[in-house]
Structure 1
Amino acid sequence: MSVYRPKSTIEQWRILQAVVDYGGYAHAAEALNKSQSSLNHAVAKLQQVVGVQLLEVKGRKAHLTTAGEVLLRRSRQLTNLTEEIEQLADNLEQGWEPEVKLALEMVFDRSQLIPVLNEFQQLSRGSRLLINDTVLTGTVEQIQEQTADVVITHHLPRGFIGEPISQYSMDLVCHPDHPLADLPQPIDQNELSQHLQIVIQDTGSNPVEDEGWLKAEQRWTVSHFDEALRLIRSGLGFCWLPPYVVQEDLDSGRLSRIEIEGSSSRKGSLYMVLPKAEQTGPCAKTLAELILKHQPR
């Protein structure tokens, strides 16, 4: 298998870009701190090796040919990618992580992350971000096994500390035509045992799925709130769901809230944890700082 050897160089394409961007050889030479003759030679050599005329002189100015416009656009991708690679290499040399893993307990309202991620993108230096939805013991495992760099959880395992960032709540809901919606509120918990409950799957390797279970005889397990909401909207069963998922349906009357004697909702605190503590990398620390910065007081 033969190895392809490029005929052109990145520097030649960079010079062509400068000639176009600065409106001619003279201004480009000044900007690049090179002689005008060296730029002329570089562009001439580039046209020779690619076998296509890229520039044509009209009056005193050089203009792109049709082929030159196409190749110039593609060359910008090449030079931008080269800069990103070199920047990433410099970041890695300084200990900047190539990837950051963020684990989010599913009850956390994702809309709170939008301003965080908008700012993080500008500061991440090209590092990839992996966002992982976790539930119950799955979230705890991410902390204990240090498989995530930043974790938002409602449960702090022993030996770990977390920064309180917000509160969460869960409402028990069903379709307005469901039999539970017709009962006088609040209802006795024993009434729930005769109906189908939709629960969210624990993402841990050794799941404990009894949290929030109301002893219903029949229980279906789904992997995400979206699937649970779809089932509840269709009239199947009841489920604990957070306001950020169901509030619009409750306001519009598409869903009804169920109140149980002794408990109208489930509530608690959410914490941000850095499982790797002092071993947390600078990019992950940047993300954590932004999460704290943008959390509602």
Structure 2
Amino acid sequence: MKKGATSSLFYGIDLGEAVFIQKKEAKVARSTIEQWRMFKAVADFGGFQQAADQVHKSQSTVHHAVSKLEDVLGVKLIEVQGRKTSITPAGEQLLRRINYLLAETERLENVAQNLKQGVESRLTIAVDEAFPKEILYQSLVAVSAEFPLVHMEVIETILTGANELLNKGMADIALSPFTLANELSEDICQLEFIAVCGAEHPLAHKTNVTPEDLKHHRQIVLRDSGVESKTDIGWLGSEQRWTVTHLATSIELIRKNLGFAWLPQRSIAELLQYGMLVPIQLQRGATRSSNFYLNFRDAEVLGPVARSFIGNVRYRSSDPD
């Protein structure tokens, strides 16, 4: 007996035997992803020759891969009777599990390919809530179709918030009603804001409304989501104001006849059409226009995903529809 083996033998296991058992338990998987792909192809396309045609391999290569997989697993996966190829019950059960693994493998390979080509894994866009949603949504859909594995993050902001996130490096692109200081900002579209109230609000039934008339009614104001350089725009002369943080909240309060505000016409077009919101008949200043800008820092460091999004926003902003 070797020195130091006494305690091990006391428990009925020699150290050499323990090492052998440890190695046996630590064996690695012997099947390969490629073998599983060949098996799935046979299952999907109904035979070895059909699978070979689809994966651009010889029939013998596909057959060998599946046979090797069956040997490794010790399970029959496919049965061939004459010209008919069928999947065994064990094969069907394993196929359901392998579909997920193969899909994840494909995703990993695509991510690696994206990294090799310099494709970003994430794109963060800061967008003012007044920016036309249809332009934003259509652009996101187009980019996701082109780069399906890229995570798209949209941060909704008010007034200076979009540019602030861009300046802090928390966003790659900003769609903002303000230009960037000391930078070239691209004028992307112009929005019209219109003074509105609810259909049952007192201002809805009044003509030739003056600023003095407005002062006696509650104004709904959007809070600037920026922290470092908050700003106010537009008329703020009402004696009472409610300040909210989201455009949707402002619209809902006004629809419930709880105040008035200047809102982007494209965002409330349907509510105006059905009479749920009503334009205020101001003597002057009933509408105002605001430019929106496409802002980003350094065009030289933008990746293909960011460039695709910018191109889509430009294209859809130039479309009059």
Category of TM-score, reference length = shorter chain: 0.7 to 0.9
> Residue in 2 aligned with 1:218?
240
**Is 1:183 the equivalent of 2:206?**
yes
Match of residue 64 from structure 1: 87
Is 2:113 aligned against 1:81?
A: no
- The partner residue of 1:163 within 186, 198, 205 is 186
CA–CA distance in structure 2, aligned partners of residues 37 and 265 of structure 1 = 74
Contact 2:199 2:255 in 1 (8 A): no
After TM superposition, give the deviation of residue 75 of structure 1 in Å. Answer: 2.6
Identical columns (%): 37
2:285 paired with 1:263: yes
- The alpha carbon displacement at 1:116 in A equals 2.3
Higher relative contact order (CA 8 A, sep 6+): 1
For residues 73-152 of structure 1, the aligned pairs below 5 Å read 73-124=96-147, 126-152=149-175
Indicate if the aligned counterparts of 1:151 and 1:274 stay in contact, CA closer than 8 A.
Answer: yes
Residue of structure 2 aligned with 1:240, choices 257, 262, 273:
262
* Residue 172 of structure 1: aligned partner: 195
TM-score norm. by structure 1 comes to: 0.86
Q: Structure 1 stretch 47-56 or stretch 213-222: which is displaced more? A: 47-56
Deviation at 1:74, TM superposition (A): 4.3
Aligned pair count reads: 295
How many Å separate the matches in 1 of 2:26 and 2:226? 47
Q: Where does residue 43 of structure 1 map in the other structure?
A: 66
Q: What amino acid is the match of 1:103?
A: A
- Aligned-partner SS, 1:204: coil
Q: Shift of the alpha carbon at 1:119?
A: 2.3
Matched, 1:13 2:36: yes
Taking the aligned partners of 1:38 and 1:112, their CA distance within structure 2 comes to: 50
**Corresponding letter in the other structure for 2:307:** K
Q: Is residue 290 from structure 1 mapped to residue 312 from structure 2 by the alignment? A: yes
Give the C-alpha shift of residue 288 in structure 1. Answer: 0.8
Show the counterpart of 2:249. Answer: 227
Contact 2:160 / 2:176 at 8 angstroms: preserved in 1?
A: no
8 Å contact from structure 1 (residues 192, 214) kept in 2: no
Measured on the aligned residues, the alpha-carbon RMSD in Å equals 2.7
- Which of the residues 274, 293, 297 maps onto 2:296? 274
Worse-superposed segment, 3-12 or 83-92: 3-12
Tell me the secondary structure at the aligned position of residue 130 of structure 2. coil
Q: Deviations over 1:97-130 (max 9, x none)?
A: 1111112121111112343233212222521111
Gaps of 5+ in 1: none
Unaligned ranges ≥5, structure 2: 1-24
Structure 1 distance, partners of 2:29, 2:227, is 50
Q: How far, CA to CA, are the matches of 2:283 and 2:41 in structure 1?
A: 73
| Closer, same or farther: CA 263–14 of 1 in aligned 2, 3 Å | same
